[in-house]
Amino acid sequence: MKTNLYDVGGNLVGEVELPKVFEEPVREDLVLRVVLAIQSRKRQPYGTDPMAGKRTSAHYHGRRRERFSMMNREMARLPRIHGRGVPPFLMWEARFVPQARGGRRAHPPKVEKIWEQKVNKKERKKAIRAAIAATAKKELVEKRGHRVEKVEKLPIVVKDELQRIERTSELKKLLENLNLKEELERISKRKVRAGKGKMRGRRYKVKKGPLIVVAKDEGISKAARNLLGVDLCLVKDLNAELLAPGGKCGRLAIFSESALKFLERVGF
């Protein structure tokens, strides 16, 4: 299985053999499971005040044949606030119990709940291999929404000069020369999020664009950080969420030549 090799000008200079990891069967169910496990570690525990709804003097008189008793008076046997109205036992208001106004919640969220999901090590590695293999399948990449109609073969592999690009304009020009101009136009548009998230530091929703995978960062992080939707990752730090955002396989990936050799030598 081969793919095209390009230089930093976007010119075709030859072909390169893809590592065996690209022949791995794509397990979308396994990738989704691992991505959700990664996201679960980012979840912040939350819960109510343990005393919420319990700070009240309401109580229940459970004595028969006594004045102010709550028994045999055709009223629910609930803890009630005292001293309201005349006579008081007719105006006692229920409190504390979940079904009463101002009462506690029956099953509130608790901070001690464990959100983290665990995944076996072999499953995690298999999911990464499956997500890498999906980057070479054009139908999956197009299904994710990437505009790669003019790209001949996937994944895109560029010589190691890619790692030394420091200017955003140079990287943008390279992507355009790789027939990704429509992809850049797609990810340049961002939309305002619906709902209260606008007030919580996540006002805009940004589309996911190409993932640039390199063996060594020699300045390309400076160029990639100013392109909306473009992510950069060292090949040794690849994970399922970067390769399949949202658990959907087939992200458009651009590998440096040495990153491809790392996958051949080490794999996952």
Q: What is the pLDDT of residue 246?
A: 95
Find all residues with CB under 8 Å of 157, minimum gap 6, and list them.
3, 4, 5, 6, 16, 254, 255, 256, 257, 260
Q: What is the pLDDT of residue 85?
A: 56
Q: What is the pLDDT of residue 50?
A: 93
SS3 (DSSP) at 185: helix
Give the Å distances, CA to CA, from 58 to 95, 101, 207.
6, 12, 54
Of the candidates 268, 238, 265, the residue with the CA atom closest to the CA atom of residue 255: 238
Report all structural domains of the chain as residue ranges with CATH numbers, in order of start.
2-26+117-265 (3.40.1370.10), 44-114 (no CATH)
**DSSP state, 59?**
B
Residue keyed to tokens 């955002």: 245
Q: What is the pLDDT of residue 86?
A: 57
pTM: 0.86
Q: What is the pLDDT of residue 134?
A: 97
pLDDT tens for the chain, 268 residues long, are: 899 999 999 999 999 999 999 999 999 999 999 999 999 999 999 999 999 999 988 988 888 888 778 888 788 889 988 765 555 454 678 899 999 989 999 999 999 999 999 999 999 999 999 999 999 999 999 999 999 999 999 999 999 999 999 999 999 999 999 999 999 999 999 999 999 999 999 999 999 999 999 999 999 999 999 999 999 999 999 999 999 999 999 999 999 999 999 999 987 7
The HSE-up count of residue 192 (CA atoms within 13 Å, CB side) is: 4
Q: What is the pLDDT of residue 268?
A: 75
